[in-house]
Structure 1
Amino acid sequence: MPCEVEAIEQFEDLISDHIGPDEQMVDYKLTNLTAPGENYGSIMLKIDVVLKNNKTGQERLLDLVGKMIPRLEVMQNIFNVQVTFKNEIAFYLELIPAVQLFLEENNILDKVSYAAQSYGGRISLDPSSEKVDENAIILLQNLKVLGYTTCDRRKGFDLKSTRIILKNLAKFNAYPLALKLKKPKEFETKVKPNLVDYYLTDNFYEFTVRQFAKMIKTEQDIDENTKERAVEIIRRKALKVTHEPWATVTHNDLWVNNLMVKFTNDEPVDAILVDFQVCEYKSPLRDLLFFLFSSVTLEVLREHLDELIDLYYEEFANVLKLFKLNTDEFSRKNFDQQVKLAANESEFYHVIYMLPPILFDGKLADMSEIGDKVFNAELEPTDLHKKRFSFTVKEFARRGWI
């Protein structure tokens, strides 16, 4: 398949900070990193850069990934690239450095290792422009050459991988929270401006309501009152509310395709979060619940859900303790209350809304098919969709979350 992008304008200028004083760029090669249908909101490129040392004649390879906006206007509108692309550039170039500096100031040896290294970015060739255009790009470290891989979105993560992901998710949420609590002015100026409320597109809202109402009728083990409450929550959509002091940086889209896991001898050893387009200032428990119910195998959830929630809380609380913060307000009792709020206010709707694209059984020949094939009222849910739907509704109801 030919690459979706033939060339990147002024590419050498973008990576100039990563070219040594005696080096020059000899060449670069572009290939598609993902197939159509595996990344709904971006063009993902594999970029192999050849650098040559002018003194020694030696060459070295710089393995990068380029992220660009989709070419179709309808997809740009669905994913609101004028907001989301700017958010992601700011995440890598402003938010991560602020958190890393905060760790160093507090003698925390850990690095911000839950995200890929950035090699620069822009929204346009025109430095004075405030509009994201077709030349917008984010350059990142290619994690695949370091041994990181994606999971099959239809299968989900096993127990060992899930534990590693939750530990890094806790850091992702808790480090900025600690920064907010210890240096609120810095958080307000360097972090919070890059966190913008993101609304799930209304394009497929009616489809979600219709499909949910149809599927919930077939659930025989759920009483009618619970069914009615569940339908009402779906019709209400996700609420945009913030609960202090818990609010922090949230990913807001943490499902299988936005996580990469590294394996050594077939054992998961690390995990990295990707795609920070829709980061918000909200409860971290939103990330926790959406990840678990969208991306972990049902077998693991049935046997280990409480254990996994416990693990996240322990890691989250331990991070706050590193900074010698008063954690009384972050007690386990308050945590459980926040979990219930996050489930009811947003994540039940969020999970149900996202199950069709996550569990879509097939490939897309072209991104223009996303609306017709993924959110098609005539398209029957897959068996995997039905099973995860049933489990989600019953588990949320059993725990008193809906």
Structure 2
Amino acid sequence: MNEHFLSEYPGTHIEMEVKTCDFEDNDQLPVKVEEAIRKIVKKEGYTNHKQTSKAISTDGGNYLGSLYEVNVTGYTEVGKKETNIFVKGIIPGDLLSVLSVTEIFNTEVFFYNDLAVVFDELQNEANVPAKERYNIVNSFQESIPEAIILENLSKKGYKTGFRMDVISLKFAELTVQQLGRLHGLSFALENKKPNYFNRKIKSLSVPYKFNEDFKGLITISGKRISECLDDDVRERFTAFLEKLWHDVQRYYSDQTYKRTIVHCDYRANNILMKEIDGEIIDVVPVDYQFIHYGCPVTDFLYFIFLGTDQEFRKNHLEHLKDLYFDSVTKMLKYFNIDVKSVFPRKDFEDLYTELLGFGLFSFVQIMPFIFAVEGEIPELGKDQLDGESIKCDERMKGRARGIVDDFIRWGVM
């Protein structure tokens, strides 16, 4: 049976076709994922149940995995029950030369099966109130390297916004607060569990391979942006982007920078939100495939420059910087850690200034995938993700010009 399904987790907010299927259809879940689902059903205590699966097509909008939802309804010894599951399954084979898909899936399994549990324990021990906690989607320990298995929060009203939209101030405030909590928890983890931190966190490196293919993607994307700039700015931008190619590798690797657990893909499409009467009341970050031990300021810059326009930054950037730092400070207080001892405000501001170019580089890197025209998005394994083959929406031009203009006005470019 075919039906329309509005994808609200975790991809873009677009209408798409899905096919309701059972596990015996040609597009059934992989065997190992089926086994994991059976373990979940048993653990949830079902005495009898009905199980349906939907393979979700995102028109090529998801590049690094196949998406499914699995709904289980039935009865346990205490009565009727329903379990809603979201599955992100690995696409077989490492099809990208700029990163290892296998590696990033293993990283996300580590986050949900291990680190998320430690975060929960830490916050419990410190009596962090529910409203002040770092939000993590409930996960099933049955996640495996082939698939991430989570609670399907779309069933509770959570969704993502449209990837091309400028984020709202309320969304930005809640999301920046969550980011501050993540980094605050990382500092607390290093302080309270140094052995764990040294063994499992410091070894997490950025998954990107800074090879010729990666540089080619940046060059092509940069060229497309330069074409929408005025003549007197174009050469300036191109030279600055060439410099950033070398600087960003240093930003990732320089051990002298303040370092924490870094999300590394902290943008609007990886933040679930819930609204009541049109007001956003809660956000939950997802997608931890790129987490690594890096500079926390890169997460903040990435979020700002991928989700805001020039007018938004003019009106709200300083407020969001304050809110982020206050959020780090508050989280640390629950662990009796003075922010000045681990991440003084001056350090944050100095790093923000030094690494500011990371924001522009991130926009250039991700721009083709944010502004890809619906219906013409290439699919991993069937098309080359070279940035050139992706047709971009006209809204890209205004956003790009605004960022370049800001960098000129700030005296950076």
Amino acid at match of 2:345: R
Structure 1 residue 36: Cα displacement = 2.8
2:198 to 174, 178, 188: 188
Structure 1 residue 18: Cα displacement = 3.7
Structure 1 residue 27: Cα displacement = 2.8
1:244-272 superposed Cα distances (whole Å, 9 cap, x missing partner)? 57311111011222111110111001101
1:178 to 179, 188, 193: 188
Distance 1:12 1:385, change over 3 A: closer
- SS of corresponding position for 2:253: coil
User: Counterpart of 1:338?
Assistant: 351
Structure 1 residue 78: Cα displacement = 5.5
* Contact 1:64–1:142 (8 Å) recurs in 2: yes
Which runs of 5 or more structure 1 residues have no equivalent in the other structure? Answer: 124-131
Q: How many residues align?
A: 382
User: Counterpart of 2:360?
Assistant: 348
Structure 1 residue 286: Cα displacement = 0.7
Distance 1:75 1:139, change over 3 A: same
User: Counterpart of 2:11?
Assistant: none
Amino acid at match of 2:306: S
CA distance in 2, matches of 1:401, 1:181: 35
* Contact 1:154–1:358 (8 Å) recurs in 2: yes
- SS of corresponding position for 1:91: helix
Alignment of 1:231-310 (within 5 A): 231-236=241-246, 238-239=248-249, 240-243=252-255, 246-310=258-322
Structure 1 position 90 matched with structure 2 position 110:
yes
CA distance in 1, matches of 2:133, 2:140: 15
User: Counterpart of 2:6?
Assistant: none
Structure 1 residue 84: Cα displacement = 0.6
* Contact 2:68–2:86 (8 Å) recurs in 1: yes
Amino acid at match of 2:230: Q
CA distance in 1, matches of 2:162, 2:209: 24
Distance 1:167 1:33, change over 3 A: farther
Structure 1 position 29 matched with structure 2 position 52:
yes
CA distance in 2, matches of 1:81, 1:380: 24
User: Counterpart of 2:163?
Assistant: 153
1:198 to 198, 207, 211: 207
* Contact 1:356–1:375 (8 Å) recurs in 2: yes
1:386 to 397, 401, 404: 397
1:43-95 superposed Cα distances (whole Å, 9 cap, x missing partner)? 11111012422x46x43110110110124x36466551221111101101111
User: Counterpart of 2:62?
Assistant: 39
Amino acid at match of 1:264: I
Alignment of 1:129-140 (within 5 A): 132=145, 136-140=146-150
User: Counterpart of 1:165?
Assistant: 175
Alignment of 1:8-157 (within 5 A): 8-15=33-40, 18-20=43-45, 23-24=46-47, 26-33=49-56, 35-53=58-76, 55=77, 58-71=79-92, 73=93, 75=95, 79-110=99-130, 112-123=133-144, 132=145, 136-157=146-167
Which runs of 5 or more structure 2 residues have no equivalent in the other structure? Answer: 1-17
Structure 1 residue 115: Cα displacement = 1.7
Amino acid at match of 2:28: E
Amino acid at match of 1:307: H
* Contact 1:70–1:76 (8 Å) recurs in 2: no
Query: Over the residues paired in the alignment, what is the CA RMSD in angstroms?
Result: 2.9
1:205-250 superposed Cα distances (whole Å, 9 cap, x missing partner)? 2142144246436533966885364132244362222455731111
Structure 1 residue 389: Cα displacement = 1.5
Structure 1 position 313 matched with structure 2 position 325:
yes
TM-score, normalized by length of structure 2? 0.82
CA distance in 1, matches of 2:354, 2:118: 29
Structure 1 position 376 matched with structure 2 position 388:
yes
Structure 1 residue 393: Cα displacement = 2.1
TM-score, normalized by length of structure 1? 0.84
User: Counterpart of 1:6?
Assistant: 28
- SS of corresponding position for 1:151: coil
* Contact 2:60–2:380 (8 Å) recurs in 1: yes
Structure 1 residue 398: Cα displacement = 3.0
Structure 1 residue 187: Cα displacement = 1.7
CA distance in 2, matches of 1:391, 1:241: 29
